[in-house]
Amino acid sequence: RRSAGNRACSDVPAFRRVQLHARRVNHRRWGLHGVLEESFYRPLGRTGVRVSPLGLGTDNFANPTTEKDAAQIIGFAIDSGINLIDTANSYAGGESEKIIGRTLKASGLRDDVLLATKAFYPTGTGGINDQRTSRRHLIHACENSLRRL
């Protein structure tokens, strides 16, 4: 029996590999497409949107992952079938969101991705109201996140 640290994707029951084939993405690079079978995408509530069972966490973007490496990670994740990118306004002081926004804009893949961001921790010098879940903080955090993304 293999240890948990050496598990291959084929060992994970809900993750099945299908035939990989090269596909031209935005006429700029070759990538892998079709790692996740279509039947594994899940509905997002009653929105009609389907989301991959795996998401890309971006807490390490900009700290310590460079923007170039982060762009490659995002590209590989999308090419592999992941369409959910998770971030937060507090990751590297908002720089993680900026990297995601610039990468998706440059690649033209923004419409292929669901972005999830979070707001809770203070990100500026707004004092006691620049944190937690107050209405004021959440509206301000959402507006700032949209600017960065």
Catalytic site residues?
91
The rounded Cα 2 to chain-centroid distance in angstroms is: 29
- Report the half-sphere exposure of 128 (CA within 13 A, side-chain side): 0
Dist CA 124 CA 16 (whole Å): 43
149 Cβ partners below 8 Å, 6+ apart? Answer: 87, 97, 100, 101, 104, 115, 117
- Rg of the chain taking only CA atoms, in angstroms: 17
Query: Amino acid letter at 72?
Result: Q
Query: Amino acid letter at 107?
Result: S
Nearest Cα residue to 149 out of 112, 83, 99, 74? 99
The rounded Cα 116 to chain-centroid distance in angstroms is: 7
